[in-house]
Amino acid sequence: MSPDMRPMMPLTLTAYTLVTANGRGVGPVLQALRDRRSGLRPCDFEDVTLKTYIGRVEGLEDFSLENDLERFDCRNNRLAWLGLQQDGFMVAVAEAKQRYGAHRVAVVMGTSTSGILETEHAYHMRDQAGSLPAWYTSRYRYTHNMFSLGHFVRTCLGLRGPAMVVSTACSSSAKVFATVDRLLRTGLCDAAIVGGVDSLCLTTLYGFSALQLLSTKPCRPCDEDREGLSLGEAAGFALLESSERVGRPGAVALLGYGESTDGYHMSHPHPEGAGAIRAIRDSLARAGLRPEDVEYINLHGTATRANDAVEDKAVYSIFGARPACSSTKGWTGHTLGAAGITEAVISTLCLTHGLIPGTLNCARVDPSLKSRILRNNQTGPLAVVLSNIFGFGGNNCSLVLGKLP
C-alpha cells in the first residue's frame, strides 16, 4: 500500500450548512427528507421554455449584493451568500479564525459553471457592433471567472489562507475534501472551509436538453421507467478541522476519500464502472475500513439510464446487495458542481439523525439493478456512510463519512 493510501487522520465537520430548493439551512432540508417532500417544480427559470423540472432556490432574484460585495453580484454569489448566512456557520468560522488565525484557514470551493449566467445576460445585451456591455468586462473577474466563488467566500469570511476553486463537473465539491486533506497534511493550513455552489443557467439547461438527458417529469432515480435528470441549484459549506484537535465522540468526520478519472469517453463513464470502483476502493482504504463496515450508500443516482446502471455495477461488485442504497436527487435535483457538498451534508444529517432516505419518485426499482435500492425511508443508528459523486466524462470521487468513536 502506498503511503498516500494508508488510513488518514479523520477530519471533523465542525460546522456545516446547506441551501437547496427544499429550503435554507439544514433544518428545512432534513424535514423535507423526513416528509418526502420534493423541491422540484416545472421549469420557471427566466424565459426557458423546456418541458422539464428544476430545483430552483427561491428568492435569488429578490436581492442584490451591496456595499463592499457589490462587485461580486451575480446569481451564483447570491446563492453562496444565502448559504453562508445559515446554521450559525459564519460564527463557527469566526471562532476558527480566533483559534488559528485568518492566514491559517483555507478556502477550497467547487463549482462547474460559476457565474456563467452573467455572461449569458451580457451576450443578450451586445450592441449593433457585437460589443459586450462595459459593465460586464469590468466585473468578469468577480462573477463569471471560475475563481470568483473562492474570492467571494474568502472576502465574506475575512480569511487569508490558501484559496482555490475546483471545477471537475459533478465531482467538483466532493474533490474539495480530498484537496483539503492534502493541504492539512502538508502544513499549509490548520483548518479549511470546503463547499460548492452551482446556480441554474441557460447553458446547462439547454446543454443537457441537447444531450437528451433531461426528464419531462421529476427525476426518478433507479426507476425502471426513468427518463433522465432534473437540474437544480445549491450552496453548501463545511468547516473541516483535524479530529486530533477538535474531535469528540459521536461527531461526524471525513474518514476517507477516493478519486479517479475513467479517461474512457468525453461524456460517458466506463461501461463497467472501472473508475467508480477505484474511487470507492481507495476511499475505503484511506478510511481503514472494509466494505462490510459501510451501512448506507448515498448514490450519485442521477436517474439517467447509463449512470444508474454503471453505478449499480460498481457498487454491487464491491458491496453486493448488503448495504442500503438510495439517491436523494429526487429532492434537490442534480446540483452539478454543488452535488458533492450537497450530498456530503445530507449524508452527515443521515448519520446525525439516524435516517436513511428512500429514493424519492422511484415507483418500481429497475429489475436489472442488483444493489439494494431503498424506496422508503428507514430510521435507526448509522455509523458509516459512503457518498458517491461520479462526474461528467468519468471524473469520480467517493467520500466515507462516519461518527468518531
Sole residue written with cell 459549506 = 237
Residue 135: inside a domain: yes
Report the mean per-residue pLDDT for the chain: 95
Residue 3: inside a domain: no
- Mean pLDDT for the stretch of residues 365-383: 98
Decide if pLDDT at 333 tops 60. Answer: yes
Q: Each residue of 97-117: pLDDT tens digit?
A: 999 999 999 999 999 999 999
CB 204 within 8 Å of CB 214: no
Active site residue 334: yes
The domain tally of the chain equals 1
In this predicted structure, what is the pLDDT of residue 360?
Answer: 98
Find, among 165, 385, 173, the residue nearest to 280 by Cα: 385
Residue 174: inside a domain: yes
Residue 89: inside a domain: yes
Residue 209: inside a domain: yes
Sole residue written with cell 437544480 = 232
Helix (H) or strand (E) holding 108: strand 105-110
Q: Each residue of 152-188: pLDDT tens digit?
A: 999 999 999 999 999 999 999 999 999 999 999 999 9
Non-local (6+) Cβ contacts of 183 within 8 A are 106, 108, 162, 189, 192
The x, y and z cell numbers of residue 342, run together, are: 450537497
For 20, other C-beta atoms within 10 Å of its C-beta total 29
- Mean pLDDT for the stretch of residues 289-316: 96
Find, among 35, 26, 60, the residue nearest to 232 by Cα: 60
| CA–CA distance, 335 with 18 (Å, rounded to integer) | 12
Phi, psi of 3 (to 5 degrees): -55, -35
Residue 2: inside a domain: no
CA geometry: angle 318, 370, 224, nearest 5 deg: 140
Decide if pLDDT at 3 tops 70. Answer: no
| CA–CA distance, 325 with 372 (Å, rounded to integer) | 6
CB 147 within 8 Å of CB 107: no
Of the residues 334, 350, 362, 397, which is catalytic? 334
262 φ/ψ sector (left φ>0, alpha ψ -120 to 50, else beta): alpha
The dihedral formed by the CA atoms of 395, 178, 195 and 346, expressed in degrees to the nearest 10: 80
- Which spans in 169-242 are helix H? 172-185, 202-210
| CA–CA distance, 288 with 255 (Å, rounded to integer) | 8
Active site residue 103: no
Q: Each residue of 271-283: pLDDT tens digit?
A: 788 999 999 999 9
Residue 1: inside a domain: no
In this predicted structure, what is the pLDDT of residue 247?
Answer: 82
Q: 266 falls in which pLDDT band (50, 70, 90)?
A: low
CATH number at residue 226: 3.40.47.10
The pTM is what? 0.97
Q: 263 falls in which pLDDT band (50, 70, 90)?
A: confident
Of the residues 300, 350, 362, 397, which is catalytic? 300
Decide if pLDDT at 243 tops 60. Answer: yes
- Choose the weakest-confidence range: 55-59, 82-86, 247-251: 247-251
The x, y and z cell numbers of residue 247, run together, are: 474531535
Non-local (6+) Cβ contacts of 254 within 8 A are 10, 11, 13, 177, 181, 240, 399, 400, 401
With H, G, I as helix, E, B as strand and everything else as coil, classify residue 11. strand
Find, among 184, 178, 252, the residue nearest to 16 by Cα: 252
Of the residues 170, 201, 222, 350, which is catalytic? 170
Residue 137: inside a domain: yes
Phi, psi of 347 (to 5 degrees): -60, -35
| CA–CA distance, 71 with 63 (Å, rounded to integer) | 14
The x, y and z cell numbers of residue 120, run together, are: 449569458
Question: Which range marks the domain in which residue 347 is found?
Answer: 10-403
The x, y and z cell numbers of residue 283, run together, are: 476511499
Active site residue 300: yes
